[in-house]
Amino acid sequence: MRTGRARSVAALGPGLMLITCSMVCAQSSPETSVQQHAQKAEQDLLAHNLAGAEQEYRQMLTLDPLNAAAWTGLGVLLYGTGRPQMAEETLRKALGIDPSDSRAELFLALSRADLGECKDAEPVLSKIFEQQPKGNLQRVTGLALLGCSASAADPVPAIQVVAKLRQLYPDDPDVLYESAELFTRLWNQAAGDLMAKHPESYRVHELAGEVYAAQNNYDQAIREYSLALEQQPNLPQLHYRIGQMYLHKGDPDADDKAMAEFQKEKLIHPQSAVTDLAMADIRMHRHELDEAKPLYQEAAQLDPTLVEARIGLAKILLEQHQTEAAITQLTSITAEHPDSAAAHYVLMTAYLQDRNPDKAAAELAVFNRLQTERGESFQTKLDALLSGKAPGSGQQ
């Protein structure tokens, strides 16, 4: 069973241990020596001296074996330093002395989750994840709960946990990683079931086409999509995908083949704005402005968020030397979509056409900045991560 061990030490941090240490200092025996060890433990945690803090906890327990808070503090420390087996034993002792110790209950559940004892851990983790206010402790609890529920036969609980984690901690790297792990696993399971139970289904060919397309194996992708269409001629999006594969291949007749596929797509899916955009781009490439304009207009009407269609209309205005109108339209686009590198680039060309070099230079600077920020694609970063080489290092 998959556990959350990769999460616990780094994600826990000294802050959560200090919470428990504060409890020890507040609840310890009134004897001066025990208090002194508690204070020293807190100082060691602040200094990240975990070995020293552990020694202080053990000194406290030598003096006061029934100090539940000290057992809890030691258990949290053991968990946070990657020793869930010892943490479990220690935290059980804490709860044996004080069954109401909610902190010991939580970290006992976290330890059990790391040990794969999810049957005992999940009820506690689920309760605390729902009740705990937003913060690091709730995040760690949710990640542990996800680690347990992700391997269950029923994926619904894990999906619900992921949804809440993504809502509460949308930019957290642990949450994003665990989300990717879960959905990749579910995709693999579903794809495996599809191929095992319906090996000749058009959906298998469609799925294979997507895989080949992701691998840039355009010929095989076209073949698989075409096989799917033989079984389901009115399947939406496939003619569009085939057209895109032809464009990616870049053969001399790519535009003609792609246009034929896009026209078939519109017969099946008349509301496809991206198909209109693709056809408009081909017409624009051929300098067929009168044919491109209505296609851009329809694409923008069908999908107002499709900024590329509005940029295409502005490019037509520039081709027709309606520079002022193009600048007005492009200025509006860049105001609404400041991260659109394409819009800034076309606005730059418009300012050059308008003989305004200062504004053109400003737009070029924005364009270059956006391109630099996006220069490293996800695949480049992933390849660098897997190979251990810096992106662009050129090492073999």
- Tens digit of each residue's pLDDT (9 = 90 or more) over 91-119: 999 999 999 998 999 999 999 999 999 99
Is residue 374 domain-resident?
A: no
Taking the C-alpha atoms of residue 346 and residue 328, their distance in angstroms, rounded to an integer, is 12
Per-residue tokens: 181: 């792990």
- Are 62 and 182 contained in the same domain? yes
Residue 50 is assigned to a structural domain of this protein: yes
- Give the least confident one: 128-142, 269-283, 308-322: 128-142
**In a domain? residue 169:** yes
What phi and psi values does residue 99 have, to the nearest 5 degrees? -65, -15
Question: Does pLDDT of 28 surpass 50?
Answer: no
**22 and 157 together in one domain:** yes
Of 234, 252, 270, the position where a domain reaches its end is: 252
Range 311-332 average pLDDT: 96
186 & 210 share domain = no
pLDDT value, residue 202: 94
pLDDT for residue 18 is more than 90: no
Both 57 and 36 in a single domain? Answer: yes
96 lies in some domain: yes
Is 89 part of any domain?
Answer: yes
Segment 67-71 shows an average pLDDT of 91
Q: Are residues 159 and 13 in the same domain?
A: yes
144 and 79 both lie in a single domain: yes
Q: Write out pLDDT tens, residues 35-58.
A: 888 888 888 888 889 899 899 999
Average pLDDT over every residue of 150-154: 82
* pLDDT for 41: 86
86 in any annotated domain: yes
Give 396's pLDDT tier (boundaries 50, 70, 90). very low
Q: What is the CATH number of the domain that holds 125?
A: 1.25.40.10
Please tell me the predicted confidence (pLDDT) of residue 385: 52
Burial class (CB in 10 A: 0-12, 13-18, 19+), 188: exposed
pLDDT at 65: 93
Distance CA 146, CA 118 (A): 10
Residue 266 Rama label (left phi>0; alpha psi -120 to 50; beta): alpha
User: Does 208 share its domain with 182?
Assistant: no
Same domain, 110 and 155: yes
pLDDT band at 382 (very low <50, low <70, confident <90, very high): low
39 and 146 co-located in one domain = yes
CA angle 11, 15, 20 (to 5 degrees): 115
Examine the pLDDT at 251 and tell me if it is beyond 90.
yes
**Res 10: pLDDT:** 44
pLDDT at 7: 44
Residue 104 domain flag: yes
- Please check whether residue 90 is in contact with residue 71, taking contact to mean a CB–CB distance below 8 angstroms: yes
Averaged pLDDT for residues 69-85: 92
pLDDT(394) > 60: no
Counted domains in the chain = 2
Note whether 187 and 226 are same-domain residues: no
Rg (CA), the chain: 30
Q: Is residue 98 part of a domain?
A: yes
Tell me: do 125 and 243 sit in the same domain. no
User: What are the tokens at 304?
Assistant: 């107002």
CA triple 250-253-255, angle to 5 deg:
75
Residue at which a domain ends, from 191, 217, 241 = 191
Residue 224 sits in which domain range?
198-252
Mean pLDDT of 13-26: 51
Please give the C-alpha separations between residue 377 and each of 307, 339, 365, in angstroms, as whole numbers: 21, 16, 20
Same domain, 35 and 171: yes
At residue 243, the pLDDT reads 97
